[in-house]
Amino acid sequence: MNIVVCVKQVPDTWAEKRLSDQDKTVDRNGVDGVMNELDEYAVEEALRIKEAQGDGEVTVLTMGPDKSVETIRKALSMGADKAVHLVDAGLHGSDALATSYALAKALGTIEHDLVILGVESTDARMSVLPAMLAERLGASQLTFARKVEVGSGTVKIERQTDTGYDVVEASTPAVVSVVEKINEPRYPSFKGIMAAKKKPLTTLSLSDAGIEADKVGMAGSGTEVAEFAPRPPKQAGQIVKDEGDGGSKLAEFLASQKFI
């Protein structure tokens, strides 16, 4: 079974994120880029499926600026076999509609039975891309998986819901998105890091992937940011030291606000 894992480089989970004043996109300058934390679970899941099946290849695909190659290296160090980097200035500013189109085109250049992604990125946090990719590829959608079981030509997942889970099954090809804690992502070993340097990395431009330039980037997107501003600072609240009556004081506050 051949698997493609889509990963995204995002500003460090713990860093303060900003929008660029120039073009209102996520400011990636001056912030450390890391692999989207939820994508680490996707890479791990792909590797586990490959190891259990004993055949097939895991290809890591990313779309992003030159710097994203760091995230590709990490996935290769973890054990992915090869990588495809969709990189083109024309992609800058792509929204979900444009990104799903571009990624679907890039996926068209890689032989695969399964596409695996993290359930969302920690910067945009839309969690729509896996469903949009399934729609574009005509593949089955198996999203929000907390467990993945691969059979011969079929995949069964437990889809996390608010009240429990749904058991969902589909034939391949399928697009799977995984939730945090589905597994424990491995750390790249020294050997893995060294081996990653020799693994094949293909770079795709818009034309390489057959992407129409007017369907991506800011102009090809379906949404635009009109304006943005930092959230106004909150008025300082009342902070009280507990002198043995902290609970009662809190109850008084709740009553004054009509919560009780």
Task: Enumerate residues 163-222 that contact another protein by CB under 8 A.
Answer: 163-171, 174, 180-181, 221-222
State which residue, 66 or 242, has the beta carbon closest to another protein: 242
Which of 81, 82, 84 is closest to 205 using CA atoms?
84
- Interacting span for another protein (CB under 8 A) from 49-57, 71-79, 85-93, 127-135: 127-135
Segment 28-47, which members bind another protein (CB under 8 A)? 37-38
- Interacting span for another protein (CB under 8 A) from 14-22, 74-82, 109-117, 188-196: 14-22
Q: Strand 33-35 to strand 9-11: parallel, antiparallel, or no bridges (unpaired)?
A: antiparallel
Residue 22 touching another protein (CB under 8 A): no
Residue 68 touching another protein (CB under 8 A): no
Rg of the chain over Cα atoms, rounded to whole angstroms, equals 22
Bond prior to 130 in cis (omega within 30° of 0)? no
What's the min distance (Å) between Cβ of 171 and another protein?
A: 7
How many residues are listed for the chain in this entry?
260
Residues sharing a CB contact under 8 Å with residue 28, sequence separation 6 or more, in sequence order: 11, 65, 67
- Interacting span for another protein (CB under 8 A) from 75-83, 107-115, 206-214, 245-253: 245-253
State which residue, 152 or 257, has the beta carbon closest to another protein: 257
With CB under 8 A as the contact rule, the residue among 2, 19, 109, 195 that binds another protein is 19
Give me the half-sphere count of Cα atoms (radius 13 Å) on the Cβ side of residue 230.
7
Residue 57 touching another protein (CB under 8 A): no
Cα distances (angstroms) measured from residue 228 to each of 19, 93, 109, 118: 8, 16, 37, 27
